[in-house]
Every structure is written in C-alpha cells, then in structure tokens.
A and B are shown apart, each in its own frame.
Chain A
C-alpha cells in the first residue's frame, strides 16, 4: 500500500514551523527582539530536523515503518533548508553582510566556528541527495552520508557553547542524539553477531 498523500502531508508539516514563525513575525508576536527569535527558532529547527532525520532508520527497524525511510531524504533536505535560513539570518540581520566581521566571528567565536563547520558539511549531503548521485557514488554515498551523524553532534556543541549558563536544552538534544546513535551501534552489533552465527552454521 502506498499512501500517495503521505509525502505532501509531511512536506507541509515540515514547512509549518516556518509558517508559524512568519506569522509571528508579521503579527509582532516575537517580543522585543524579534530578530534574535528568528535566529533561535531557525537554529532550533535545524537541529530538530537533523535528529528527526536520524529517527527514520530506527522507526523502520523497531516498528517496521518502511514509510519513514521514504521520508528521510525530504527530512534531511528540510534540515538543510532551515540551516540555510538560520545562516542567512545571521549573515543578513546579525552582521548585515559585513564579511570582514563575519570572518573574524568564524575565527574568534568557537560556537560560530562549529556552526559554520556543521553548515559546510551539510552542503555535500544536500548536493548528493538526489537519486542520480546516490547511484553514481555507490558505496561512497553511504560513507559520505555518515556525516549525518557528525553534523548534529556539531550542532549540539554549537548550542552548548552558545548558552550562557543553562545547558539544559543542549543537554536534552545531546541525550536524544546519543540515543539515536546508540540504537545504531546496537543494531550493528546484532547484525555482526547474526552473521557470525550464520557463518558458524556453514562451516
């Protein structure tokens, strides 16, 4: 059974944070410092989408929800979309395209350095997300897309270094990421153990 409506529905759902943010901005609901709110919101949604993307595989593995895998590329691209908005907010509304100042920021401010690194690493993933590149890169594609584990880790570090005193929020994201990665390590172990058993049978 293929749910034709599922993809457009998820597409719209993923767009809704931006719509809500746009509405809040337009209606003046973002408080005294709306630009900061936009920066924070787009940053938070980038990190959330990076984690949601990593949820697809465990959903299939543990619940048999194959449709989750079919959404994975779109979710990953949404992470990239929100990251781009986040970066643009910074470049435009924070720095007003003062490239000298931006460069200094990347060099001097560890949280910016790490955020920028995360964004740069997202670029090849977004560029190779289409079917053509998947086929063309073969095994290399899989290896390249392991960056999807590294990027959210950099995102958590970026967030951690950015908060002044209260690390609770980045900690929560860090724990969620750790759980998502742990589920893969566990699955990998089981696979290896499984194949060892099979080999034992053959011999």
Chain B
C-alpha cells in the first residue's frame, strides 16, 4: 500500500514555535559571523547549515517509497524567479532574504491580515509528509516535506461564503530574484486552487524538507504542496493569499492557456503538446514508470472532481 494511515498528533510532538524562532535567529547570527569571517556567501548556500526542525511528527498520507536524495531535491529545481535552468535556483537563491518575511491575507475573509512568518507558524504542529512530486516535464521525485495542512491556516482567517477560490502570489523583487529581470513569465508568479482543493487534508503548507528548514531554492520560507497536481501548482515563497469569488488565472495558464489548465491535475490520459504524460522518470532511476491518475492520490481526491470532464478541465 502506498498510503499510510493517519496518525494522531499530540501537543508534545509539535515543534514549539519559540524554539523554532530562537533557532532561526541563532542560525542567522551564526551565519552572519561565519560569513563575515570567511568573507562570502559561501555558507548561506550550504544546505547542511540549515535549521534542523525538532520533533517533527510523521504525518498521514506518506508514500512508502524510496525518497529522492536531498542533493537531488535541492539542486534540480524549476524556480524561474532564479533562472530557467534547473541548476539556477541552487546557484542564485541565496540572494533571497527570508527573515523577516510577511504574508498578506486579503479578499473574501472575515479577518484579513498581514502576518509575519512567525504569526503564520505559531499555532501549527509541524508534521512530515512524504509525497510524490510529478513535474509536468515528465520527471518525478519523492520528497519528505515538513509542514502543516493549508486548511488549518485558512480557517484562521475565516473565509466568507463568497470565497470560492484561493489565489497565491510569490515574492516579486528583482534584487532578490534575479530571474525576474527578464519577463519570462508575467511576474509575480500566481497560482490558485478551488476552495475544496485548498481545504483538502492532502494540501500542505511546507516549511521544511528532510527535517530541515526549506532551502531557498525549494521555496523558502513557506510554499504550497499539492501532490496530486503538476509541480508548478505548488507555488513557492508565498507573500500573498487572496480569497476570491472568481477563478484566478495561474501564471502558466496565462503564458500558454492551451497547455496549462487551471486544474492541472496529474493525468496520464491528457497529453501535453510537449510531453506525453503517460510515463515519468523518477529522478535517480533509469527506466521510466507509468504515471498514475492524480499522481496516485486518486483514492483521496477523485471525489473532488466527480462529474467533471477532466479532458476539458485539464
């Protein structure tokens, strides 16, 4: 079986926020001193220097598959804000400053707010979820994320009855994100989910991977993970969350509407003009494997789409 059964979380199992906060600070001052001593940005790129997240509890829905190596997960990234090559993000993402960080929540909510990252994280228990990630380009990984359900975050802002969709935005700052100097996409990067997709227990806000704080190239300090959709739906380095009555337009849909639909559910039966989606290469493997409907999460999410023609709503 690919899916493990859910396990309960108890209060003592969570990473207490204050510890997280302290370590974040400690790490940064340590880095600053070391950085000054060495005289370069060498250390900020050293993944091993990233904060260890304590007492992360194994979460539900984890895939029982061999995990992709930390090295591969953090060196092979599509994050066009740092350049279009897969190796660009690891090379340039150290320019991104993730502390302080704030997230603005607006739109159809009772409690709009601008929160610091710490405000966002404080009430949530961090859990590890090992998810498959399927890129629209035909490769896939298995990633041990650390995070918490997006639903728990959304509830805090009390969306109104008009909130039918959630839209997310990535930071737009050419100094920190050199890839934005060229208009490869219509910056800032935007993504969206239907409300029921956003509230689904599989949908995760990730702040770490492999038990450590997220490396910048993987979308630090917080990103979305929607494992049954193609990777580009899982927006990185989020600064804005907007609740809307109308369906938002994702950046890739805007760039090529016939290629990238709003839903972008992993679907081996809907081919893309560039890539047949029937098979995928798991990073680290030689032979390709069959791509599974909803990336293998059909049992959990197929009911979200009953009665919908998934060839039309691709």
Contacts and interface: CB of A to CB of B under 8 A. Distances in A.
Interface of A: 31-33, 35-36, 96, 101, 104-105, 108-111, 161-162, 164-166, 168
B4 to A, nearest CB: 26
Contacts of B284: 32
25 contacts: A31-B76, A31-B86, A32-B71, A32-B72, A32-B86, A32-B283, A33-B139, A33-B281, A35-B286, A96-B287, A96-B288, A101-B276, A104-B276, A108-B271, A108-B273, A109-B275, A109-B276, A162-B274, A164-B137, A164-B256, A165-B80, A165-B185, A166-B80, A166-B84, A166-B182
The 6 A-B pairs with the shortest beta carbon distances in the complex, nearest first, are: A32-B76, A32-B72, A166-B84, A166-B184, A32-B283, A165-B184
Contacts of A111: 274
Contacts of B95: none
Given A108-B273, A165-B84, A166-B80, 13 more contacts: A31-B87, A32-B283, A33-B139, A33-B281, A33-B283, A109-B273, A111-B274, A164-B84, A164-B256, A165-B185, A165-B255, A166-B184, A168-B182
Contact of A31 (B75, B255, B274, B287): B75
Contacts of A32: 71-72, 75-76, 86, 283-284
What is the size category of the interface that chain B forms with chain A? 20 to 34
B200 interface: no
A96 B290 CA distance: 13
Contacts, number: 52
A161 B258 CA distance: 14
Interface string B133-174: 000010100000000000000000000000000000000000
Contacts of A161: 274
Contacts of B273: 108-110
Nearest to A111: B274
Contacts of B281: 33, 35
B278 interface: yes
Contacts of A110: 273
Contacts of A33: 76, 86, 139, 281, 283
A108 B76 CA distance: 28
A6 to B, nearest CB: 35
A108 B182 CA distance: 31
Nearest to B141: A32
A138 B218 CA distance: 60
A203 to B, nearest CB: 58
A32 B283 CA distance: 6
Nearest to B85: A166
Given A165-B184, A166-B182, A101 B76 contact: no
A29 to B, nearest CB: 11
